[in-house]
A and B are shown apart, each in its own frame.
Chain A
């Protein structure tokens, strides 16, 4: 079974440029997460989707970040324009929530973004 796929693995851009990250979750997983992970810290949730619906986007900086999950499968996270402080690893995870609690999250390898 293929795991969570993310691309690109690494991205270097100059500030004020746009950037996009792509995530393909494990087949059949209804819940998809985007996290931001700074060096030496734990993942911080940006947005959570249940199927196509964004059920928690309270931590997403909506002035520059946007996300979509068309057809409830793969997802794209975009930053426009990027700032120096956006340099971090962006993680995607998916889970099959059985109800009664959060399911096991399966994480992709992440995209390491460097903004110069």
Chain B
């Protein structure tokens, strides 16, 4: 069964510094990949997704992620973080099916804290 690992449970970073949040998934079969963000007391919202095509995916708020099939990774990056980026970030994966897709599996999350 598919699983998602987010190695860093907490990532503190100074404002305007770059950040990378790591995500690895277990299966090497064809997958769909997502990053969601959850601000305090709010629901999750999509940052970006990889369905097919270019392995470098750009999302909202200046975030981007790169799909690496050989390393089964989908790391999230931002060159310069802002205080407002403080939130919980979830990586998610879904296996491709022949006619549909398998359920979306979420990782345990990484708490990003931006320090002024």
Residues of A participating in the B interface, judged by any CB pair closer than 8 Å: 3-4, 40-45, 48, 56, 91, 93, 100-102, 104-110
Contact = CB atoms under 8 A, between A and B. Distances in A.
A73 to B, nearest CB: 19
A44 B45 CA distance: 16
Contacts of B32: 101-102
A108 B106 contact: no
Interface in B1-22: 4, 9
Nearest to A109: B43
Interface string B49-86: 10110000000000000000000000000000000000
A53 to B, nearest CB: 12
28 contacts: A3-B43, A4-B43, A40-B9, A42-B4, A42-B90, A42-B92, A42-B106, A42-B107, A42-B109, A43-B44, A45-B105, A48-B103, A100-B51, A101-B52, A101-B96, A101-B101, A102-B32, A102-B94, A102-B101, A104-B49, A105-B44, A105-B46, A106-B45, A107-B36, A107-B43, A107-B44, A108-B43, A109-B42
Nearest to A110: B43
Interface string B26-40: 000000100010000
Interface residues of B, number: 25
Main secondary structure of the interface of B (DSSP, over half): strand
Given A100-B51, A107-B45, 10 more contacts: A42-B90, A45-B103, A101-B32, A101-B94, A102-B94, A105-B44, A107-B36, A107-B43, A108-B43, A109-B43
A40 B108 contact: yes
A14 to B, nearest CB: 25
Contacts of A4: 43
Given A101-B32, A102-B101, A40 B109 contact: yes
Nearest to B99: A99
Contacts of B105: 45
Nearest to B50: A101
Given A4-B43, A91-B44, A105 B104 contact: yes
